[in-house]
Amino acid sequence: MTAVLTAADPAAVAQLLGAIDERDYWLRRLLSAERRAYELGHQAGYREGRRDEGDDRDAQWHSLADPLARRAADGVDLTRRRWRVRGEEREREDFGRPHPGDRPVRTPRPSGPVWLGGPPVHYHGCSAACYAFRPGPYSPAEAAAILATLPGHYAEEIASLRARASRERAVS
C-alpha cells in the first residue's frame, strides 16, 4: 500500500519531486542506452551481412570458375574447341579448309526481270510516253526500249540494260 501524500506536507512534496527527478534521470539513461545499443547492433548487422554476402558470392564464383580454370589449365580442351568446325576436330592450320557441311556457293544465274516504276517515281517532267507503259517487270531488252522513249536522261541505264540483254542472249 502506498503512502498518501498531501500538499500540506512540504517534506512529502520534496520527496515526491525528488522521486520524479530520479525517475526522469533513469528514463533518459535507459533511452540513451537503447539508442546506443540499437546503433551498435545496426552497424554490426550490416558488417556481418556484407561479409556473409561476400563469402557467398566468392563461393558461387569459385563453384563456377574453378572447374573451368582446371580444364583450361592444360589448355588442350579450350584450344580443341576453338578450332572445331561443325563438330570436326581441326587445328589452326586447317581451320579455314572447306567443310562438306558448308553452304554451297551459288553460281551466278541470269538475272531476273527489270522492274520499271511509273510516273510517281520519275524525277523529270513526265510526258505521254511515261503514261504509255504499265509499271511492272520487263525483260532487260524491253526495259531498254521503254526507257529510250522517256524524256529523262537514261543513256547509262539503257546501255547497261542492252549489255545485260546481250549477255543473257549469249547464255541461253
Q: What is the binding site for Zn ion (CB under 5 A)?
A: 119, 122, 126, 130
What is the sign, positive or negative, of the torsion defined by CA atoms of 82, 85, 90, 91? negative
Question: Smallest distance from the beta carbon of 139 to Zn ion, in angstroms?
Answer: 20
What is the smallest separation between the CB atom of 163 and Zn ion, expressed in angstroms?
A: 23
Asked whether the beta carbons of 138 and 113 are under 8 A apart, the reply is yes
Taking the complex as a whole, the smallest distance from the CB of residue 159 to Zn ion amounts, in Å, to 19
Alpha helices in 9-154 (DSSP H): 10-73, 76-82, 128-132, 140-149
Q: How far is the CB of 157 from Zn ion (least distance, A)?
A: 13
For 79, other C-beta atoms within 10 Å of its C-beta total 13
CA–CA gap between residue 50 and residue 86 (Å, rounded): 46
Nearer to Zn ion, 126 or 141 (CB): 126
The partner residues of 138 in beta bridges, in order of sequence, read 114
Q: How far is the CB of 170 from Zn ion (least distance, A)?
A: 32
* Nearest position to Zn ion, beta carbon: 130
Choice between 85 and 130, CB closer to Zn ion = 130
Which residue number, 110 or 119, has a Cβ lying nearer to Zn ion? 119
Spatial distance between the Cα atoms of 13 and 17, rounded to a whole number of angstroms: 6
Given the complex with Zn ion, which of 32 and 149 has the nearer CB atom? 149
Nearer to Zn ion, 154 or 164 (CB): 154
Q: Which residue has the cell 581441326?
A: 90
